[in-house]
Amino acid sequence: MSGTAKNDVDQYIVNKDDAVFIFADLHPDLIASSNTMSPESLSANAGGLAKISRAISAPALFLTVPRDGKPGELIAPLKPYANANNTIYRLNADPFQVPAIVDAIIKTNRKTLIVSGFTAEVAVLLTSLGALRNGYRVFIPVDCTGNRSERTEQAALKQAEQAGAVLTSLASVAAQIAPNFSKEPGTTILSVILDAEV
């Protein structure tokens, strides 16, 4: 394989030692309006993605927005993985306009963001564009995102992809991160793949 071809393929490979998992605006009352993926499936898959991050000891950041004048509550499957140190409340739609979020990402010393959230057209798109603008690689597992409108979700994901993000799936990310399912963390990650909802 030529060097150029190899480099082209490498851009689609997730390096587990370089990954940061971003969970944006996954609040129960918000995802209840998801029409592109059922709230139950979105919630389960996001929880699976968080399980992967813990299995490989990768940093995870949980971004919240105002709900009824206070920080939104995370969906139940994310709560075991979130704490005061990795949960960041923001008032700006673009996470890369929030110094606390930018600083938290920089402190990981990692350059690959795996972005999930609701909605695809705001939280996921703006996180992805901000990351790409700042020199990060971005992977979007599309079955860990949701949106009110299929038409606007398709537009948002197309825009992110054209800007350089890689569209992928929960199972694809999981299998790349730990391809040996016979031992940990692969055993845990295989369970995530088998439990993934479509």
User: Quick one: pLDDT at residue 3?
Assistant: 57
Count of CB atoms situated within 10 Å of the CB of 175: 17
Helix or strand run (H / E) with residue 138: strand 137-141
Residues 6+ apart with CB under 8 A from 165: 115, 128, 132, 138, 139, 140
β-sheet bridge partners, residue 138: 113
User: Quick one: pLDDT at residue 153?
Assistant: 98
pTM of the model: 0.94
User: Quick one: pLDDT at residue 2?
Assistant: 56
User: Quick one: pLDDT at residue 10?
Assistant: 87
Cβ pair 51, 192 in contact under 8 A: yes
User: Quick one: pLDDT at residue 4?
Assistant: 54
Sign of CA dihedral 129, 76, 152, 49: positive
How do the pLDDT tens digits run along the chain, 198 residues long? 555 556 688 889 999 999 999 999 999 999 999 999 999 999 999 999 999 999 999 999 999 999 988 889 999 999 999 999 999 999 999 999 999 999 999 999 999 999 999 999 999 999 999 999 999 999 999 999 999 999 999 999 999 999 999 999 999 999 999 999 999 999 999 999 999 987
Proportion of the chain in helix, strand, coil states, percent, rounded to 5:
50, 20, 30
Rounded to the nearest 5 degrees, what angle is found at the Cα of 21, between the Cα atoms of 47 and 16?
110
CA atoms within 13 A on the CB side of 73: 6
Domains of the chain with CATH codes: 18-195 (3.40.50.850)
User: Quick one: pLDDT at residue 6?
Assistant: 60
| Cα-only R_g, the chain | 16
Query: In the chain, where does DSSP find H-type helix?
Result: 3-10, 28-31, 39-55, 99-107, 125-133, 150-163, 170-177, 186-195
